[in-house]
Amino acid sequence: MPADLFAVPDVVKKANNPTPPSYVALQWMIRRAHWGSFLDSDALAFDPAVVPSLKWTEVKPGVFHITGGSHHTMVIEMKDYLIAIDAPVGNEMSRMTMAEAKKRFPNKPFKFVLMTHHHMDHAAGTRVFAAAGATVIYGAGNKKFFNEQLTAPNRVRNDELWANPRTVDMLEVADSHKITDGVRDVMIYMVPNTHSANTLILTLPKDDFGWVTDLWSPSRDRPNDRPSHFEFINEVRRRNIVMTTWAGGHGNGVAPIQPLLNELDKIRSAAPARVAAN
Domains within the chain, CATH numbers bracketed: 56-213 (3.60.15.10)
User: pLDDT digit string (tens) for 123-162?
Assistant: 999 999 999 999 999 999 999 999 999 999 988 778 999 9
Strands of 151-264, DSSP E = 170-173, 176-180, 185-191, 199-204, 209-212, 245-248, 255-256
Q: What helix, strand, coil percent values describe the chain, rounded to 5?
A: 30, 20, 45
Query: Rounded distance, CA 64 to CA 82, Å?
Result: 11
Range scoring the smallest mean pLDDT among 19-23, 104-108, 115-119: 19-23
Report the relative pairing of strands 185-191 and 110-114 from DSSP bridges. Answer: unpaired
Where residue 208 falls (left for φ over 0; alpha for ψ -120 to 50; beta otherwise) is left
Which amino acid is residue 42, in one-letter code?
A: D
What pLDDT is stored for residue 226 in this prediction?
Answer: 85
CA distance 82 to 265: 37
- Give this prediction's pTM: 0.86
Give per-residue pLDDT as tens, 45-85. Answer: 566 666 667 899 999 999 999 998 889 999 999 999 999 99
